[in-house]
Structure 1
Amino acid sequence: MNENQNAVRGIFFDVDDTLYDHLEPLRLALQRVLAMGEDFPYGKLYHRFRYYSDILSAEHGAINAAEAKKDLQDMRVRRAKLALAEFGVQVTDREAARIQDAYLEGQFQIQPFPGAVELIRDLQAAGHVVGLITNGPAEHQMAKIKALAMDSIIAPGQIFISGAVGYDKPDPRLFAYVNEQIGTNAASSYYIGDSWRNDVVGALGAGWTAVWFNHRQVQAETEHQPHYTAADYRELAGILLD
Protein backbone atom coordinates (compact mmCIF):
# COMPACT_ATOMS: atom_id res chain seq x y z
CA MET A 1 0.00 0.00 0.00
CA ASN A 2 1.33 3.40 -0.85
CA GLU A 3 -0.28 6.44 0.71
CA ASN A 4 -2.03 6.35 4.07
CA GLN A 5 -0.57 2.92 4.75
CA ASN A 6 -1.75 2.89 8.36
CA ALA A 7 -5.38 3.72 7.50
CA VAL A 8 -7.96 0.96 7.93
CA ARG A 9 -8.79 -0.66 4.61
CA GLY A 10 -11.47 -2.99 3.38
CA ILE A 11 -9.50 -5.87 1.84
CA PHE A 12 -11.55 -8.54 0.10
CA PHE A 13 -10.47 -11.77 -1.57
CA ASP A 14 -12.04 -13.84 -4.32
CA VAL A 15 -12.43 -17.55 -3.47
CA ASP A 16 -12.08 -19.83 -6.52
CA ASP A 17 -8.47 -20.04 -7.73
CA THR A 18 -7.51 -17.20 -5.40
CA LEU A 19 -7.78 -18.84 -1.98
CA TYR A 20 -7.17 -22.36 -3.31
CA ASP A 21 -6.10 -24.21 -6.46
CA HIS A 22 -9.29 -24.44 -8.54
CA LEU A 23 -7.50 -26.36 -11.31
CA GLU A 24 -6.96 -29.55 -9.32
CA PRO A 25 -10.67 -30.51 -9.04
CA LEU A 26 -11.05 -29.99 -12.81
CA ARG A 27 -7.97 -32.08 -13.56
CA LEU A 28 -9.27 -34.93 -11.42
CA ALA A 29 -12.75 -34.70 -12.99
CA LEU A 30 -11.36 -34.94 -16.53
CA GLN A 31 -9.14 -37.86 -15.62
CA ARG A 32 -12.04 -39.63 -13.95
CA VAL A 33 -14.62 -39.12 -16.71
CA LEU A 34 -12.48 -39.00 -19.87
CA ALA A 35 -9.40 -40.91 -18.68
CA MET A 36 -7.13 -38.05 -19.78
CA GLY A 37 -3.40 -38.53 -19.31
CA GLU A 38 -0.96 -36.48 -17.25
CA ASP A 39 0.47 -34.82 -20.37
CA PHE A 40 -2.78 -33.01 -21.26
CA PRO A 41 -2.41 -29.18 -20.97
CA TYR A 42 -4.77 -28.86 -18.01
CA GLY A 43 -3.61 -25.37 -17.10
CA LYS A 44 -4.41 -23.98 -20.54
CA LEU A 45 -7.76 -25.77 -20.59
CA TYR A 46 -8.62 -24.39 -17.17
CA HIS A 47 -7.99 -20.85 -18.38
CA ARG A 48 -10.42 -21.34 -21.29
CA PHE A 49 -12.88 -23.11 -19.00
CA ARG A 50 -12.98 -20.06 -16.73
CA TYR A 51 -13.14 -17.76 -19.76
CA TYR A 52 -16.31 -19.40 -21.05
CA SER A 53 -17.74 -19.50 -17.56
CA ASP A 54 -17.35 -15.72 -17.23
CA ILE A 55 -18.61 -14.99 -20.76
CA LEU A 56 -21.68 -17.23 -20.57
CA SER A 57 -22.55 -16.04 -17.06
CA ALA A 58 -22.37 -12.41 -18.16
CA GLU A 59 -24.62 -13.13 -21.14
CA HIS A 60 -27.25 -14.60 -18.85
CA GLY A 61 -27.05 -12.21 -15.91
CA ALA A 62 -27.88 -13.26 -12.32
CA ILE A 63 -27.10 -16.86 -13.23
CA ASN A 64 -26.22 -17.69 -9.62
CA ALA A 65 -29.64 -16.73 -8.28
CA ALA A 66 -31.60 -19.53 -6.62
CA GLU A 67 -34.26 -19.50 -9.34
CA ALA A 68 -31.70 -19.96 -12.14
CA LYS A 69 -30.51 -23.46 -11.24
CA LYS A 70 -31.38 -25.01 -14.62
CA ASP A 71 -29.74 -22.13 -16.52
CA LEU A 72 -26.64 -22.50 -14.34
CA GLN A 73 -26.40 -26.21 -15.11
CA ASP A 74 -26.87 -25.54 -18.84
CA MET A 75 -24.09 -22.94 -18.70
CA ARG A 76 -21.76 -25.39 -16.98
CA VAL A 77 -22.38 -28.01 -19.67
CA ARG A 78 -21.80 -25.46 -22.45
CA ARG A 79 -18.55 -24.13 -20.95
CA ALA A 80 -17.11 -27.64 -20.71
CA LYS A 81 -18.01 -28.46 -24.31
CA LEU A 82 -16.69 -25.15 -25.66
CA ALA A 83 -13.44 -25.27 -23.72
CA LEU A 84 -12.69 -28.89 -24.53
CA ALA A 85 -13.51 -28.36 -28.23
CA GLU A 86 -10.64 -25.86 -28.44
CA PHE A 87 -8.30 -28.75 -27.58
CA GLY A 88 -9.85 -31.14 -30.07
CA VAL A 89 -11.91 -32.98 -27.47
CA GLN A 90 -15.58 -33.41 -28.37
CA VAL A 91 -17.95 -34.44 -25.59
CA THR A 92 -21.69 -35.03 -25.42
CA ASP A 93 -24.01 -33.12 -23.11
CA ARG A 94 -24.14 -36.19 -20.89
CA GLU A 95 -20.35 -36.42 -20.66
CA ALA A 96 -20.09 -32.70 -19.96
CA ALA A 97 -22.65 -33.09 -17.15
CA ARG A 98 -20.64 -35.98 -15.67
CA ILE A 99 -17.50 -33.85 -15.78
CA GLN A 100 -19.37 -31.09 -13.98
CA ASP A 101 -20.63 -33.47 -11.29
CA ALA A 102 -17.11 -34.80 -10.66
CA TYR A 103 -15.71 -31.27 -10.71
CA LEU A 104 -18.18 -30.10 -8.07
CA GLU A 105 -17.45 -33.10 -5.88
CA GLY A 106 -13.73 -32.34 -5.96
CA GLN A 107 -14.23 -28.73 -4.93
CA PHE A 108 -14.84 -29.78 -1.34
CA GLN A 109 -11.50 -31.61 -1.06
CA ILE A 110 -9.45 -28.42 -1.01
CA GLN A 111 -7.03 -26.46 1.13
CA PRO A 112 -5.88 -22.83 1.05
CA PHE A 113 -2.81 -21.78 -0.91
CA PRO A 114 0.36 -21.60 1.22
CA GLY A 115 0.43 -18.27 3.03
CA ALA A 116 -3.26 -17.44 2.54
CA VAL A 117 -4.39 -17.95 6.13
CA GLU A 118 -1.30 -16.23 7.51
CA LEU A 119 -1.83 -13.17 5.32
CA ILE A 120 -5.48 -12.85 6.28
CA ARG A 121 -4.60 -13.07 9.97
CA ASP A 122 -1.81 -10.51 9.57
CA LEU A 123 -4.15 -8.09 7.81
CA GLN A 124 -6.73 -8.51 10.54
CA ALA A 125 -4.08 -7.97 13.20
CA ALA A 126 -3.13 -4.73 11.45
CA GLY A 127 -6.71 -3.56 11.95
CA HIS A 128 -8.01 -3.94 8.41
CA VAL A 129 -11.47 -5.30 7.53
CA VAL A 130 -10.87 -8.57 5.67
CA GLY A 131 -13.58 -10.43 3.79
CA LEU A 132 -14.59 -12.48 0.76
CA ILE A 133 -16.54 -11.66 -2.38
CA THR A 134 -17.31 -14.62 -4.62
CA ASN A 135 -19.59 -15.49 -7.51
CA GLY A 136 -21.77 -18.56 -7.28
CA PRO A 137 -24.85 -20.08 -5.68
CA ALA A 138 -24.97 -19.19 -1.99
CA GLU A 139 -25.10 -22.71 -0.54
CA HIS A 140 -22.43 -24.10 -2.87
CA GLN A 141 -19.93 -21.28 -2.32
CA MET A 142 -20.48 -21.32 1.43
CA ALA A 143 -19.73 -25.05 1.48
CA LYS A 144 -16.37 -24.35 -0.17
CA ILE A 145 -15.65 -21.53 2.26
CA LYS A 146 -16.31 -23.96 5.12
CA ALA A 147 -14.16 -26.65 3.47
CA LEU A 148 -11.32 -24.10 3.49
CA ALA A 149 -12.13 -23.27 7.14
CA MET A 150 -12.34 -19.61 6.13
CA ASP A 151 -15.59 -19.27 8.07
CA SER A 152 -13.54 -19.72 11.25
CA ILE A 153 -11.35 -16.68 10.61
CA ILE A 154 -13.63 -14.36 8.61
CA ALA A 155 -16.84 -13.04 10.17
CA PRO A 156 -20.11 -14.02 8.44
CA GLY A 157 -20.97 -10.37 7.86
CA GLN A 158 -17.81 -9.97 5.79
CA ILE A 159 -18.57 -12.84 3.38
CA PHE A 160 -20.51 -11.85 0.25
CA ILE A 161 -21.77 -14.46 -2.23
CA SER A 162 -23.32 -13.21 -5.46
CA GLY A 163 -26.14 -15.74 -5.40
CA ALA A 164 -27.27 -14.34 -2.06
CA VAL A 165 -26.69 -10.66 -2.85
CA GLY A 166 -28.34 -10.67 -6.28
CA TYR A 167 -25.46 -9.21 -8.31
CA ASP A 168 -22.59 -11.11 -9.94
CA LYS A 169 -19.08 -9.81 -10.48
CA PRO A 170 -18.09 -7.77 -12.46
CA ASP A 171 -21.27 -5.78 -11.74
CA PRO A 172 -20.14 -2.69 -9.78
CA ARG A 173 -23.35 -2.89 -7.76
CA LEU A 174 -21.95 -5.92 -5.94
CA PHE A 175 -18.89 -3.96 -4.84
CA ALA A 176 -21.02 -0.96 -3.91
CA TYR A 177 -23.25 -3.23 -1.83
CA VAL A 178 -20.20 -4.47 0.07
CA ASN A 179 -19.11 -0.89 0.80
CA GLU A 180 -22.58 -0.06 2.03
CA GLN A 181 -22.78 -3.09 4.31
CA ILE A 182 -19.27 -2.77 5.72
CA GLY A 183 -19.27 1.01 6.03
CA THR A 184 -16.23 1.54 3.83
CA ASN A 185 -15.83 3.46 0.59
CA ALA A 186 -14.40 2.54 -2.79
CA ALA A 187 -11.24 4.60 -2.29
CA SER A 188 -10.27 2.56 0.77
CA SER A 189 -11.22 -0.84 -0.70
CA TYR A 190 -8.92 -3.48 -2.18
CA TYR A 191 -9.94 -6.57 -4.12
CA ILE A 192 -7.69 -9.55 -4.81
CA GLY A 193 -8.69 -12.07 -7.46
CA ASP A 194 -7.47 -14.20 -10.34
CA SER A 195 -10.18 -13.55 -12.94
CA TRP A 196 -9.39 -10.73 -15.33
CA ARG A 197 -12.99 -10.05 -16.30
CA ASN A 198 -14.68 -10.57 -12.94
CA ASP A 199 -12.02 -9.46 -10.48
CA VAL A 200 -9.74 -6.93 -12.18
CA VAL A 201 -12.28 -5.28 -14.47
CA GLY A 202 -14.97 -5.58 -11.81
CA ALA A 203 -12.91 -3.93 -9.07
CA LEU A 204 -11.68 -1.16 -11.37
CA GLY A 205 -15.21 -0.46 -12.55
CA ALA A 206 -16.29 -0.04 -8.94
CA GLY A 207 -13.46 2.35 -8.14
CA TRP A 208 -11.63 -0.16 -5.95
CA THR A 209 -7.92 -0.90 -5.93
CA ALA A 210 -7.50 -4.02 -8.09
CA VAL A 211 -4.86 -6.59 -7.19
CA TRP A 212 -4.56 -9.24 -9.90
CA PHE A 213 -3.57 -12.61 -8.44
CA ASN A 214 -2.05 -13.89 -11.66
CA HIS A 215 -0.48 -17.06 -10.31
CA ARG A 216 -1.11 -18.86 -13.61
CA GLN A 217 0.81 -16.23 -15.57
CA VAL A 218 -1.90 -15.64 -18.17
CA GLN A 219 -2.23 -12.65 -20.47
CA ALA A 220 -4.46 -9.65 -19.81
CA GLU A 221 -7.67 -9.74 -21.85
CA THR A 222 -8.26 -5.99 -22.23
CA GLU A 223 -6.41 -2.69 -21.87
CA HIS A 224 -7.43 -2.29 -18.21
CA GLN A 225 -4.55 -1.79 -15.79
CA PRO A 226 -4.67 -3.43 -12.34
CA HIS A 227 -3.03 -1.40 -9.60
CA TYR A 228 -0.89 -4.37 -8.55
CA THR A 229 -0.10 -7.87 -9.80
CA ALA A 230 1.10 -10.79 -7.67
CA ALA A 231 2.02 -14.39 -8.51
CA ASP A 232 1.87 -15.87 -4.99
CA TYR A 233 0.97 -15.03 -1.41
CA ARG A 234 4.47 -13.84 -0.61
CA GLU A 235 4.07 -11.13 -3.24
CA LEU A 236 0.54 -10.38 -2.03
CA ALA A 237 1.86 -9.89 1.49
CA GLY A 238 4.47 -7.47 0.16
CA ILE A 239 1.74 -5.41 -1.48
CA LEU A 240 -0.88 -5.47 1.26
CA LEU A 241 1.29 -5.32 4.38
CA ASP A 242 4.14 -2.99 3.35
Structure 2
Amino acid sequence: MNKAVFFDVDDTLYDHLIPFRKAVYPWTEHIAHFPYEKAYHRMRYYSDMLSLEFGGAGQMEEGDSTDLMRRKRFQLALEEFDVLLTEQEAEEIQQLYLACQFDIECFDGARELILELQQKGYVVGLLTNGAEAHQWKKIRALKLDEIIPLSRIFVSGTYGIDKPDPDIFRLINERIDIPAAQCTYIGDSWRNDVIGACHADWNVIWFNHRELEQEAGITLLGDVKDYAELRAILL
Protein backbone atom coordinates (compact mmCIF):
# COMPACT_ATOMS: atom_id res chain seq x y z
CA MET A 1 0.00 0.00 0.00
CA ASN A 2 1.22 3.51 -0.82
CA LYS A 3 2.37 5.77 2.00
CA ALA A 4 2.04 9.55 2.03
CA VAL A 5 4.15 12.31 3.57
CA PHE A 6 2.71 15.83 3.66
CA PHE A 7 4.49 19.00 4.74
CA ASP A 8 3.30 22.27 6.21
CA VAL A 9 4.84 25.31 4.45
CA ASP A 10 5.29 28.35 6.73
CA ASP A 11 8.17 27.81 9.17
CA THR A 12 8.42 24.15 8.19
CA LEU A 13 9.84 24.29 4.67
CA TYR A 14 11.39 27.75 5.09
CA ASP A 15 12.26 30.13 7.92
CA HIS A 16 9.18 32.31 8.44
CA LEU A 17 11.00 34.39 11.06
CA ILE A 18 13.23 36.07 8.45
CA PRO A 19 10.53 38.20 6.73
CA PHE A 20 8.97 39.01 10.13
CA ARG A 21 12.28 40.25 11.51
CA LYS A 22 12.98 42.37 8.42
CA ALA A 23 9.53 43.97 8.66
CA VAL A 24 9.57 44.91 12.35
CA TYR A 25 13.27 45.80 12.63
CA PRO A 26 12.84 49.57 11.95
CA TRP A 27 10.57 49.74 15.03
CA THR A 28 12.67 47.48 17.28
CA GLU A 29 16.31 48.14 16.37
CA HIS A 30 16.67 50.58 19.28
CA ILE A 31 15.75 47.83 21.78
CA ALA A 32 18.74 45.81 22.95
CA HIS A 33 18.25 42.05 22.56
CA PHE A 34 14.71 42.36 21.25
CA PRO A 35 13.13 38.85 21.39
CA TYR A 36 12.22 38.51 17.71
CA GLU A 37 11.42 34.82 17.97
CA LYS A 38 8.97 35.29 20.86
CA ALA A 39 7.35 38.25 19.10
CA TYR A 40 7.07 36.19 15.92
CA HIS A 41 5.23 33.42 17.77
CA ARG A 42 2.81 35.96 19.23
CA MET A 43 2.19 37.41 15.76
CA ARG A 44 1.34 33.94 14.47
CA TYR A 45 -0.97 33.38 17.44
CA TYR A 46 -2.87 36.61 16.75
CA SER A 47 -2.91 35.90 13.02
CA ASP A 48 -4.65 32.56 13.64
CA MET A 49 -6.99 34.02 16.24
CA LEU A 50 -8.07 37.00 14.14
CA SER A 51 -8.37 34.93 10.97
CA LEU A 52 -10.83 32.62 12.73
CA GLU A 53 -12.67 35.62 14.13
CA PHE A 54 -13.12 37.01 10.62
CA GLY A 55 -14.29 33.73 9.12
CA GLY A 56 -11.16 31.66 8.45
CA ALA A 57 -8.54 31.60 5.73
CA GLY A 58 -11.11 31.29 2.97
CA GLN A 59 -12.29 34.82 3.78
CA MET A 60 -8.80 36.28 4.10
CA GLU A 61 -7.81 36.86 0.47
CA GLU A 62 -8.51 40.57 0.08
CA GLY A 63 -10.68 43.31 1.55
CA ASP A 64 -11.07 45.52 4.59
CA SER A 65 -11.31 42.62 7.06
CA THR A 66 -8.06 41.15 5.77
CA ASP A 67 -6.28 44.50 5.97
CA LEU A 68 -7.54 45.04 9.51
CA MET A 69 -6.47 41.54 10.61
CA ARG A 70 -2.99 41.95 9.15
CA ARG A 71 -2.46 45.30 10.87
CA LYS A 72 -3.98 44.23 14.16
CA ARG A 73 -1.81 41.10 14.52
CA PHE A 74 1.32 43.26 14.49
CA GLN A 75 -0.15 45.78 16.91
CA LEU A 76 -1.24 43.13 19.41
CA ALA A 77 1.96 41.09 19.17
CA LEU A 78 4.38 43.99 19.52
CA GLU A 79 2.31 45.62 22.27
CA GLU A 80 3.25 42.64 24.45
CA PHE A 81 6.86 43.79 24.11
CA ASP A 82 6.11 47.47 24.82
CA VAL A 83 6.21 48.51 21.15
CA LEU A 84 3.05 50.52 20.55
CA LEU A 85 2.07 50.98 16.91
CA THR A 86 -0.34 53.40 15.33
CA GLU A 87 -2.63 52.16 12.56
CA GLN A 88 -0.32 53.79 10.03
CA GLU A 89 2.79 52.18 11.51
CA ALA A 90 1.11 48.78 11.55
CA GLU A 91 0.22 49.26 7.89
CA GLU A 92 3.83 50.19 7.08
CA ILE A 93 5.05 47.01 8.80
CA GLN A 94 2.50 44.95 6.90
CA GLN A 95 3.67 46.41 3.59
CA LEU A 96 7.31 45.70 4.48
CA TYR A 97 6.31 42.19 5.47
CA LEU A 98 4.59 41.61 2.14
CA ALA A 99 7.54 43.05 0.24
CA CYS A 100 9.96 40.46 1.67
CA GLN A 101 7.56 37.59 2.33
CA PHE A 102 8.23 35.97 -1.01
CA ASP A 103 12.02 36.41 -0.94
CA ILE A 104 12.43 33.00 0.66
CA GLU A 105 14.37 29.74 0.29
CA CYS A 106 13.75 26.23 1.56
CA PHE A 107 15.63 24.98 4.62
CA ASP A 108 18.78 23.03 3.83
CA GLY A 109 17.87 19.49 2.85
CA ALA A 110 14.14 20.11 2.36
CA ARG A 111 13.95 19.84 -1.42
CA GLU A 112 16.40 16.94 -1.43
CA LEU A 113 14.26 15.03 1.06
CA ILE A 114 11.08 15.61 -0.96
CA LEU A 115 12.76 14.27 -4.09
CA GLU A 116 14.23 11.28 -2.26
CA LEU A 117 10.85 10.37 -0.76
CA GLN A 118 9.28 10.53 -4.21
CA GLN A 119 12.03 8.34 -5.65
CA LYS A 120 11.29 5.73 -2.98
CA GLY A 121 7.60 5.69 -3.94
CA TYR A 122 6.04 7.95 -1.32
CA VAL A 123 3.14 10.22 -2.23
CA VAL A 124 4.45 13.66 -1.21
CA GLY A 125 2.33 16.77 -0.83
CA LEU A 126 1.73 20.06 0.97
CA LEU A 127 -0.97 21.25 3.33
CA THR A 128 -0.83 24.90 4.37
CA ASN A 129 -3.22 27.26 6.11
CA GLY A 130 -3.93 30.57 4.44
CA ALA A 131 -5.65 32.42 1.64
CA GLU A 132 -5.29 30.61 -1.68
CA ALA A 133 -3.52 33.22 -3.84
CA HIS A 134 -1.27 34.36 -0.99
CA GLN A 135 -0.03 30.86 -0.14
CA TRP A 136 0.45 29.94 -3.79
CA LYS A 137 2.84 32.89 -4.16
CA LYS A 138 5.01 31.36 -1.43
CA ILE A 139 4.80 27.90 -2.95
CA ARG A 140 5.93 29.28 -6.32
CA ALA A 141 8.64 31.42 -4.69
CA LEU A 142 10.03 28.23 -3.13
CA LYS A 143 9.59 26.46 -6.52
CA LEU A 144 7.77 23.64 -4.77
CA ASP A 145 5.22 23.48 -7.59
CA GLU A 146 8.07 22.31 -9.82
CA ILE A 147 8.68 19.16 -7.78
CA ILE A 148 5.27 18.37 -6.23
CA PRO A 149 2.20 17.60 -8.40
CA LEU A 150 -0.40 20.37 -8.17
CA SER A 151 -3.05 17.80 -7.25
CA ARG A 152 -1.13 17.14 -4.03
CA ILE A 153 -0.89 20.78 -2.91
CA PHE A 154 -3.70 21.78 -0.54
CA VAL A 155 -4.29 25.35 0.68
CA SER A 156 -6.90 25.62 3.43
CA GLY A 157 -8.44 28.78 1.98
CA THR A 158 -9.41 26.86 -1.16
CA TYR A 159 -11.66 24.57 0.84
CA GLY A 160 -12.76 26.81 3.70
CA ILE A 161 -11.32 24.36 6.23
CA ASP A 162 -8.36 25.50 8.34
CA LYS A 163 -6.03 23.36 10.42
CA PRO A 164 -6.41 22.17 13.16
CA ASP A 165 -9.81 21.02 11.86
CA PRO A 166 -9.20 17.31 11.12
CA ASP A 167 -11.61 17.50 8.17
CA ILE A 168 -8.90 19.06 5.99
CA PHE A 169 -6.72 15.98 6.60
CA ARG A 170 -9.67 13.67 5.90
CA LEU A 171 -10.31 15.51 2.64
CA ILE A 172 -6.71 14.75 1.62
CA ASN A 173 -7.19 11.07 2.49
CA GLU A 174 -10.16 10.99 0.10
CA ARG A 175 -8.33 12.83 -2.68
CA ILE A 176 -5.19 10.69 -2.60
CA ASP A 177 -7.02 7.46 -1.66
CA ILE A 178 -4.61 6.61 1.15
CA PRO A 179 -5.89 5.91 4.69
CA ALA A 180 -4.83 8.07 7.64
CA ALA A 181 -2.72 5.27 9.17
CA GLN A 182 -0.45 5.38 6.09
CA CYS A 183 -0.05 9.18 6.18
CA THR A 184 2.54 11.27 8.01
CA TYR A 185 2.37 15.04 8.49
CA ILE A 186 5.33 17.31 9.26
CA GLY A 187 4.69 20.77 10.70
CA ASP A 188 6.00 23.32 13.17
CA SER A 189 2.78 24.49 14.85
CA TRP A 190 1.71 22.41 17.84
CA ARG A 191 -1.86 23.70 17.67
CA ASN A 192 -2.44 23.63 13.93
CA ASP A 193 -0.17 20.85 12.73
CA VAL A 194 0.40 18.39 15.57
CA ILE A 195 -3.05 18.48 17.16
CA GLY A 196 -4.88 18.75 13.83
CA ALA A 197 -3.10 15.79 12.25
CA CYS A 198 -3.33 13.65 15.40
CA HIS A 199 -7.09 14.23 15.63
CA ALA A 200 -7.34 12.99 12.05
CA ASP A 201 -5.38 9.83 13.05
CA TRP A 202 -2.34 10.74 10.97
CA ASN A 203 1.21 10.05 12.12
CA VAL A 204 2.91 13.31 13.11
CA ILE A 205 6.49 14.54 13.16
CA TRP A 206 6.87 17.88 14.90
CA PHE A 207 9.34 20.11 13.04
CA ASN A 208 10.45 21.72 16.26
CA HIS A 209 13.37 23.79 14.99
CA ARG A 210 12.55 26.49 17.56
CA GLU A 211 13.08 23.81 20.27
CA LEU A 212 9.84 24.44 22.15
CA GLU A 213 8.43 22.27 24.94
CA GLN A 214 6.04 19.49 24.02
CA GLU A 215 2.55 19.54 25.47
CA ALA A 216 1.04 16.48 27.12
CA GLY A 217 -1.43 14.06 25.58
CA ILE A 218 0.05 13.61 22.09
CA THR A 219 2.14 10.68 20.84
CA LEU A 220 4.57 11.79 18.14
CA LEU A 221 6.37 9.79 15.50
CA GLY A 222 9.24 12.21 16.03
CA ASP A 223 10.40 15.61 17.29
CA VAL A 224 13.09 17.04 15.01
CA LYS A 225 14.97 20.30 14.66
CA ASP A 226 16.36 19.97 11.12
CA TYR A 227 16.04 18.01 7.90
CA ALA A 228 18.89 15.64 8.71
CA GLU A 229 16.96 14.41 11.77
CA LEU A 230 13.73 14.30 9.75
CA ARG A 231 15.35 12.20 7.02
CA ALA A 232 16.68 9.76 9.61
CA ILE A 233 13.12 9.11 10.84
CA LEU A 234 11.40 8.94 7.46
CA LEU A 235 14.08 6.92 5.64
What is the TM-score when the length of structure 2 is the normalising length? Answer: 0.93
Mapped pair 1:19 → 2:16: no
User: Within 5 A, what are the aligned runs for 1:182-197?
Assistant: 182-197=176-191
Determine which of 200, 208, 214 is the counterpart of 2:202: 208
Determine which of 58, 76, 81 is the counterpart of 2:52: 58
Letter in 2 for 1:133: L
SS at match of 1:91: coil
Identify unmatched segments of 5+ residues in structure 1. Answer: 1-6
SS at match of 1:168: coil
- For residues 39-96 of structure 1, the C-alpha deviation after alignment (integer angstroms, 9 at most, x for no partner) is 3211111111112222333344423336774323322222211111111111112211
Letter in 1 for 2:85: V
Aligned to 2:88: 94
Aligned to 2:166: 172
SS at match of 1:212: strand
User: Within 5 A, what are the aligned runs for 1:69-88?
Assistant: 69-88=63-82
Aligned to 1:235: 229
Letter in 2 for 1:196: W
Q: How far has the Cα of 1:191 moved from its partner? A: 0.6
What is the TM-score when the length of structure 1 is the normalising length? Answer: 0.90
Aligned to 2:29: 36
Q: How far has the Cα of 1:208 moved from its partner? A: 0.7
Preserved CA contact (<8 Å) 1:64 1:72: no
Q: How many Å separate the matches in 2 of 1:176 and 1:198?
A: 15
Q: How far has the Cα of 1:125 moved from its partner? A: 0.6
What is the total number of aligned residue pairs between the two structures?
234
**What is the aligned-residue RMSD (CA, Å)?**
1.8
Q: How many Å separate the matches in 1 of 2:63 and 2:234?
A: 37
Say if 1:209 and 1:31 are closer, same or farther in 2 by CA, change over 3 A: same
Q: How far has the Cα of 1:221 moved from its partner? A: 5.2
Deviates more, 1:201-210 or 1:75-84: 75-84
SS at match of 2:116: helix
Aligned to 1:217: 211
Say if 1:68 and 1:88 are closer, same or farther in 2 by CA, change over 3 A: same
Preserved CA contact (<8 Å) 2:57 2:129: no
Identical positions, percent: 51
Q: How far has the Cα of 1:8 moved from its partner? A: 2.5
Aligned to 1:131: 125
Q: How many Å separate the matches in 1 of 2:147 and 2:95?
A: 29
- For residues 135-163 of structure 1, the C-alpha deviation after alignment (integer angstroms, 9 at most, x for no partner) is 11111111111110111000000000111
Q: How many Å separate the matches in 1 of 2:3 and 2:107?
A: 23
Say if 1:91 and 1:201 are closer, same or farther in 2 by CA, change over 3 A: same
User: Within 5 A, what are the aligned runs for 1:135-150?
Assistant: 135-150=129-144
Aligned to 1:118: 112
Q: How many Å separate the matches in 1 of 2:54 and 2:85?
A: 23
